[in-house]
Amino acid sequence: MRKSDYTILVADDDPDYLFQTVCNLGRAGYKTIAVESQAEAESVMSKIKPDLAIFDLMMESDDSGFILCYKIKKKYPDVPVILATAVSRETGISFSLDSEMDKAWIRADRYLEKGIRPEELDQEVMKLLKI
């Protein structure tokens, strides 16, 4: 499959970050669906199975990203999920997916700090999609 055969759902309440991420993924060749809230992401997930999802951690609530990870994995267990956040930089609180316990409750396949370079994001997406 080509990159253009993959659809990525991107959910982030920061319009600048959302626009930048969607543009970068588009330039890399992917189709994207951009939403600005947990509620919009849930609506899209009820109708469409994306090939990959990128969720912001904090949207309507401090745990929106965690909730979305849980819901998408429950409905589509095989869809890879990237949890992208600036929470570590802003609060000093950090998360990781290093242990099985962390993976069990976070439910994301990758955890990325916002500010990742476009080519790095593309590499992570390709790894998860096995391109």
> 40-78, pLDDT tens digit by residue?
999 999 999 999 999 998 888 878 888 999 999 999 999
Question: Which residues on neighbouring strands pair with residue 56, listed in sequence order?
Answer: 84
The per-residue pLDDT for 61 is 81
Q: Cβ atoms within 10 A of the Cβ of 36, count?
A: 16
Q: What is the separation of C-alpha 126 from the centre of its chain, rounded to a whole number of angstroms? A: 13
> 2-23, pLDDT tens digit by residue?
999 999 999 999 999 999 999 9
> 85-124, pLDDT tens digit by residue?
875 444 445 555 455 544 444 568 888 888 889 999 999 9
**Mean pLDDT, rounded, for 16-45:** 97
DSSP letters spanning 10-64 = EE-S-HHHHHHHHHHHHHHT-EEEEESSHHHHHHHHHH---SEEEEES-SSSTTH
Residue 30 has pLDDT above 50, yes or no: yes
The per-residue pLDDT for 27 is 96
User: Domains of the chain (ranges plus CATH)?
Assistant: 3-129 (3.40.50.2300)
The per-residue pLDDT for 108 is 80
The per-residue pLDDT for 87 is 55
Residue type (1 letter), 127: K
